Each structure stands twice: as structure tokens, then as C-alpha cells.
Amino acid sequence: MKERNSKQKLIALAIAAAVLLNIPILETVNKPVLLFGFPLLYFYVFLVWLALIVILFRLSRRNPS
């Protein structure tokens, strides 16, 4: 049951990340402006990336089989 649940969370995470890092969402941040000194597009992509890593870290720590 637990195993199944964490599997589904992982699949949902992959889908969410794939949607966040594609059009049309990518289009909204594709502007030549700087945010905190970083180009908005890079800032956004690396931020999503980092969030993905953090969530993966937490999910992989939980319920070890």
C-alpha cells in the first residue's frame, strides 16, 4: 500500500516537473529581464530543478523498503 503510494507520488512528480519545464509555462518566463541579478528564464528553470531535487530527496528518504 505504502509502496504503491510512493510510486504514484513519484510519477505525479515527474509529470508535474515535465509540465513546469515546457511550453506554455516556459513561454511566460521567456523574457529578457533580470531577477535578483539572474535572467528570469534561467532563474525559473534552476528554481524548478532545485525544487525537484528537494522533493526527490524527501521522497527517497521516506518509507525505505
Partner 1 sequence: MSPWIVVISAFAYLAILFWIAFRAQKNTEQAKSNTKAWIYSLSLGVYCTAWTYYGSVGKASRDGIDFLAVYIGPTLLAPLWWVVLRKIIRISTVQRITTLADFISSRYGKNISLGSIVTVVCFVGIIPYIALQLKAISESFEIITQGQLTNSSSNNILKDTSIYVVASMALFTLLFSARKIQTTERNEGIMAAIAFESIVKLVAFLIIGVFLTYGIFHGFGDIFSQAMQNDTTKKLLTMPNSTGYREWFWITLLSAMAFMLLPRQFHVSVVENTNENHIRKAMWVFPSYLFLINLFVIPVAIGGLILFQGSGVNADYYLLNIPLHFDNHLLALIIFIGGISAATSMIIVETMALSTMFANNLLIPLIVGSEKLKATFSKNLSGISLWSRRLSIILILLLAYFYYHQLNQYYSLVSIGLISFVSVAQFAPAMLGGIFWKKGTKAGAITAILIGFAIWTYTLVIPSLIGNSAAGQSFLENGPFGISLLKPSALFGLEGFSPISHAMFWSMFFNIVCYITVSLNTAQSVLEKNQSEIFVDIFKYSAIYESTVALKGKASLPDLEAMLAQFFGTERTKQVIRLFAKKYEIDISDPSHPADYRIIAYAERLLSGIIGSASARIMVSSILDEEEIKIDEVVNILKESQQILSSNRELTRKSAELSNALNELAEANNKLKENDQLKDDFLSTVTHELRTPITSIRAFSEILYDNQDLEEVDRQHYLGIVIKETERLSRLISQVLDLERYESGRQKLTLVKVACSELIHDSLEAMDQLIKEKNIAVELELENPNQILICDRDKLMQVFLNLLSNALKFIEDNTGRIIIRSKVVEEIIYFEVEDNGKGIPAEYQQIIFEKFFQAKNQLMRKPKGSGLGLAICSKILDLHKGRISVSSEENSGAKFSFSLPAKLDQELKEENTGI
Per CB under 8 A, 25 contacts partner 1: no
CA–CA separation, 37 vs 15, rounded Å?
30
Under the binding rule (CB under 8 A), the answer on residue 47 touching partner 1 is: no
Is residue 22 within 8 A of residue 29, CB to CB? The reply is: no
CA-CA-CA-CA torsion for 43, 49, 52, 53, nearest 10 degrees?
A: -110
Instruction: CB nearer to partner 1: give 1 or 61.
Output: 61
Q: Which residues bind partner 1 (CB under 8 A)?
A: 6-7, 10-11, 13-14, 17-18, 21-23, 26-27, 30-32, 34, 36-39, 41-42, 45-46, 49-50, 52-53, 56-57, 59-61, 64-65
